[in-house]
A and B are shown apart, each in its own frame.
Chain A
Amino acid sequence: MLKLKFTSLCLSASILALAAPQALNAAEVFFEGELSLESRAFLKAPASPHGKRHYGSVSTLLEMGIADDTNTHNFIIKGFARGDSEDDNRSHADLREAKYVFVRDSYELIVGIDHVFWGVTEFAHIVDIINQTDAVESVDGEQKLGQPMVRTSYVSDYGTFTGFYMPLHRPRNFADRQGRPASGLVINDNHETYESKHAYEQSEFALRYQNSLDAVDIGLAYFDGTARDPIIDPSNVLDGTIVPYYPLLTQISLDTQATLGPWLLKLEALQKDQLGEKTARAVTGFEYSFYGLAGGSSDLGVVVEYLWDEQQEEAAHPFANDLGIGLRWTANDVDSTTLLAGAIIDLDHQSMGLSLEAERRLSNNLSLSLEARFQTHVDESDLYLTSIKDEDFIRIELTTYF
Chain B
Amino acid sequence: MIYFRSVTAAIVLSAALIGQAANAIDLPPENQPELRGLAIAQESKKRDAGFNDSISEMEMILTNANGDVSTRKMKFKTLEVPNLEDGDKSLMVFEQPRDVAGTAMLTYSHILEADDQWMFLPALKRVKRISSVNKSGPFMGSEFAFEDLSSQEYAKYSHSWVRDEPCGELTCHVVERKPLYEHSGYTRMISWIDTVDFLPRKIDYYDRKDQLLKTLTFSDYRLYLNKHWRAHNLFMVNHTTKKKTNLTWANFAFQTGLTEADFSQNSLKRSR
Contacts and interface: CB of A to CB of B under 8 A. Distances in A.
Interface in A59-110: 65, 74, 101, 103, 105-106, 108
Contacts of A250: none
Contacts of B114: 261
A335 B125 contact: no
Nearest to B5: A299
Contacts of B100: 336
B211 interface: no
A32 interface: yes
Given A108-B266, A153-B266, A336-B100, A297 B133 contact: no
A39 to B, nearest CB: 19
Contact of A361 (B99, B131, B137, B270): B99
A367 B125 contact: no
B125 A334 contact: no
Interface in B152-198: 183, 185
B46 interface: no
Interface stretch (A2-10, A314-322, A325-333): A325-333
A264 interface: yes
Given A32-B101, A292-B137, A217 B124 contact: no
Interface in A125-142: 142
A379 interface: no
A371 B62 CA distance: 29
Interface stretch (B15-23, B229-237, B257-265): B257-265
Nearest to B243: A334
Contact of B270 (A74, A210, A291): A74
B138 interface: yes
A257 B131 contact: no
B141 interface: yes
Contacts of B127: 117
B79 to A, nearest CB: 14
Contacts of A359: 1-2
Contacts of A142: 124
Contacts of A155: 261, 264, 266
B133 A115 contact: no
Contacts of B99: 336, 361, 367, 399, 401
Contact of B98 (A106, A117, A301, A364): A364
* Max chain B Cβ within 10 angstroms of own Cβ: one of A74, A257, A335, A336: A336
A12 interface: no
Given A117-B125, A259-B130, A361-B99, A297 B138 contact: yes
B217 interface: no
Interface in B114-157: 114, 116, 124-131, 133-134, 136-138, 140-141
A289 B183 CA distance: 13
B96 interface: yes
B12 to A, nearest CB: 22
Given A264-B129, A333-B141, A361 B97 contact: yes
Contacts of A333: 141
Contact of B70 (A210, A214, A332, A364): A364
A338 interface: yes
Interface of B: 1-3, 5, 62, 64, 70-71, 96-101, 114, 116, 124-131, 133-134, 136-138, 140-141, 183, 185, 259, 261, 264-266, 270, 272
Which 10 A-B pairs rank lowest in CB-CB distance, beginning with the nearest? A401-B98, A334-B141, A367-B99, A291-B134, A117-B125, A117-B126, A155-B264, A106-B261, A364-B97, A336-B2
